[in-house]
A and B are shown apart, each in its own frame.
Chain A
């Protein structure tokens, strides 16, 4: 009991080895596990394959820090600001080193994960017909007028949620993007959460439990662990932070300074949060859902 609860440093140490394929940023703009990504950078992981639809700036940061061998994604940049400068440098100049890109669309990356979840080699779709993405991604092919999307099986999915219990039952709400199929497709799941709650909270609503607990390897209590991305009920998105990152990451030197300030010179998320004003971002207007009655007798 409770053996799944650990620090982010422990979770990354144990479940994200060099060379791993990791899925993250799975709800698209919200709930991006930035704290996990920063710990991966601090632990100097190398040769990772990143899998996700749209990671906002997190993929860009991992690429700039030299952790990444391949990106399998639909979009890499900075959602409110545009281009990902580290991603550009890696693809255009091999800085800090060359990067392999497996381009997807949002729909096709979802299907690649569903294929893995259902343990079939590929799934068919009509999307991507006529797109040059078919030319560059070896995981896509055309047969009988349909695109076949090859299964993508991450070693681990890293997911930030609003609340979880110590046995890994996670409640997330708001739009879910590809979180569910990515969790099912992955060998293991690492959860970070705003609140570690009693099982009586999670089990009160089994429909909101995102993953089977048998897949969840680690639960990391990490309040603010998704900053600067939004967390419904907890934090607004920090648009200014994204703008600052976009400006500073235009140059290698600027990015390195940013990385020192926010990642390398910070031991953990608690220290990171001391550099921002979480209260300015905290959501103060509450909108509790009307309960569902799971009464049984």
Chain B
């Protein structure tokens, strides 16, 4: 790889979440997956009303409470203590996933192992016969939500691409991802493949392409 990142500083997790949070719109109903996506809630521009869903049965989930405000009966899908937005309500599991599968959420933001240029998502297992599968609610969110954004590191720790021509890991959903936010760039999934709509300062398209298996396109 000749491309370097000498002057470019990859986003840290908080900055990745903040970048995605910028693009959430007023009035959207949003589910945030486990991991980095959870951080998106902390970066919504003030005054912008966004309603968060947690698939274990909250519509109108608020931020982590202060320690003296913890309700042990109120957790999110990552089993962390949360609070409620005014206007929140509770749902049982069939209603909560009916809401997901029925196409009512505007957006979910998920982590991923791989995203392919056709929108395929792989985020639940790294081998074909994972003995401990962790599907959870991801397959329902992937097929049911109007927009599916992925928030992930652009490459694995050992430098392999996650933004790929074709997923090699077991799929969560086919053709479902609409946008990818990484620590290096923002990519839209389009009919012609990945289109770069944002890139961190100091990084060239060539350097980004060198870290990406799929072919990148310009807008």
Interaction A to B: no
Residues of B near any A CB (own CB < 8 A) = none
Residues of A near any B CB (own CB < 8 A) = none
